[in-house]
Chain A
């Protein structure tokens, strides 16, 4: 007891010695936890290990959440929430922060009451329980998943003042599941089958047609993301993973695969997810998500706090393969410098880039420009509009511009 008093005395002495005029008793809560004082949480026991059987982020991180744009959609069930990419490091998206695009709400599915039916042009139609599916040989792969409407609100002008809303319809997870090619051999897909239909067990009974060749290549049926079972909003208990292709083809809550010899022309591949061109024709079955990148530090949500050293950082990705290079411009695209890529650089996966910068308080126009292993270079918005006009809301992979003002604020702008 006297020891404690003694330590309090010493602290007060230290404060006086340091020239502080405020007595310890009237320090505000924040200051009283800082040197030279002993923080309050060191003087009491913390929570027991059983306090949070499923751990949650610190309460001080409660600003790191998905957000939706209430004016964008008529309902929250056929809608989208955005990943807070401005708050993330590395390349993996935490499961609870992965953007959600539902077409009929998130179903809460009892896995014991869920089945996967595989039929159509196959020799041996199959009905699988989830636990049976999980007995097949498995693999884990890290892939990004992006909605082709990501950036759609920016096609006709800078609109959203935040990278969460200009680029947040993307996430990147380690997916574990069975390769579709394994199941295709198991059921004996007819050599004449060229397309398959994937159907979800949600209120939209979401359906998309996919080329069988892609199924042979790298499609998988996943049951886990980032080591744990899929979240309901990501397709629990099972979903399709179609690496590098339109997000909604990665059908969630997968209940049926039907093999056929031509596409089904479903609503979601005719009236939606097609690209209206200036001549009135619409591009269809434009599956691949082209090379894209964005700076997340800084961005409108992450203004620059002071002059001096600043590490610029962001993501790059390509649906065609690996990222080969990312360049960064500080003057709106007149001059460029090559950024460093963080290993690992993986196929159809987010790649983190960084470049050091010394900011002296003047206006800057920051851009990032990615190149993939095929040699394709991310386009400017001007180039994109020259080909595709203004009516296409999908597949905006244009270079993003952030304007840094002398006061350190960052704005979403577009440049010539």
Chain B
């Protein structure tokens, strides 16, 4: 009787203190927030584990379906065959290049796990419209990118099981971090022969370093003439944003925004500041090579009241 009572008492005390006999906390100490609902977790729980595909959703997509979506939404940046345009990431090719002087680290040559491709496309692609594809579409695009890398056949259809079963060519290409792997010693005197030989000396002459803004120091409100701004807008913006665009491929002003008159430019000052000064979203892809110094001038004109004659 006494022994039973002791056990009950100990259990009661332990429960009251909120700890088990092992000492782990059994309840929330602070109590802020609330448990998420299953629906809330389901909506955000989008991660897919590369090693085994854990988290892959139901659904499926074929290489053929993927090709259509890819051509429509991906090829503009990544190229028709994953070769990429400009400095956009290359998706295909590069097998056997990892030990060369020009390694090409693509899905086919470098990525160790296929489900990671689904995870990344679903969360971050297409670059201007992430999380806009359905799960079936993501399976299809994943299948097509793997097809571009000769990893799946042209008639392949991928679902959770098929995608998890794929063994990527560079599956064993990764090793743990062995650092520290350099062992310099803090020698103080006569550590090497003098004069020390210079092995690389091109930084000044390469001229790939952005120059510092050469604007004359002065208050930000230093007067900017509208004539300066007008000529910048005409050259960098109005080639598209005009009733009659001169840029090839444009037949009308994008979004209906035109900069044909000073009043139109002034009326759009806030948008110009946001798109071309604060961010560099405009000009699109900097097609017209707007320079930082020009953005600076436009910004200062807007900051000082966006006045026109």
Contact = CB atoms under 8 A, between A and B. Distances in A.
Interface residues of B, number: 96
A265 B112 contact: yes
Contact of B181 (A136, A265, A287, A388): A388
B184 A379 contact: yes
Interface in B15-69: 24-30, 32-36, 40-41, 44-51
Given A127-B33, A161-B203, A284-B174, A415 B197 contact: yes
Contact of A270 (B35, B116, B124): B116
Nearest to B106: A271
Given A119-B36, A157-B202, A270-B116, A384 B177 contact: no
A157 B186 CA distance: 24
A217 interface: no
Contacts of B175: 277, 281-284
A56 B98 CA distance: 48
Interface stretch (A1-9, A254-262, A305-313, A344-352): A254-262
Nearest to B220: A59
A325 B186 contact: yes
A377 B184 contact: yes
Contact of B202 (A135, A158, A331, A403): A158
A403 B219 CA distance: 34
Contacts, number: 288
A280 interface: yes
A75 interface: yes
B196 A333 contact: yes
Contact of A264 (B34, B47, B195): B47
A59 B217 contact: yes
B46 A205 contact: yes
A411 B204 contact: yes
Contact of B28 (A78, A124, A264, A267): A124
A205 B113 contact: no
Given A117-B41, A128-B33, A271 B105 contact: yes
A377 B185 contact: yes
A378 B47 contact: no
B271 interface: no
Interface in B204-220: 204, 206-210, 212-213, 215, 217-220
Given A67-B210, A158-B201, A62 B28 contact: no
B182 A383 contact: yes
A126 B77 CA distance: 39
B50 A270 contact: yes
A270 B49 contact: no
B174 A282 contact: yes
Contacts of A337: 188
A197 B206 CA distance: 42
Interface stretch (B149-157, B240-248, B254-262, B278-286): B278-286
B116 A278 contact: no
A334 B191 CA distance: 5
Given A59-B218, A266-B119, A333-B192, A126 B200 contact: no
A387 to B, nearest CB: 5
Contacts of A132: 32-33
Interface string A63-97: 10101111111111110000000000000000000
A371 B34 CA distance: 47
Interface in A246-303: 255-256, 258, 260, 262, 264-267, 270-271, 274, 276-288, 290, 300-301
A103 interface: yes
Contacts of A336: 186-189, 191
A76 B130 contact: no
A238 B101 CA distance: 41
Interface string B119-162: 11001100100110000000000000000000000000000000
8 contacts: A69-B210, A73-B87, A160-B208, A258-B47, A276-B98, A286-B177, A333-B191, A336-B191
Interface of A: 56, 59-60, 62-63, 65, 67-78, 103-105, 117, 119, 124-129, 132-133, 135-136, 157-162, 165, 185-188, 197, 199, 203-205, 207, 255-256, 258, 260, 262, 264-267, 270-271, 274, 276-288, 290, 300-301, 325, 327, 331-337, 365, 369, 371, 376-380, 383-384, 387-388, 390-391, 395, 403, 411-416
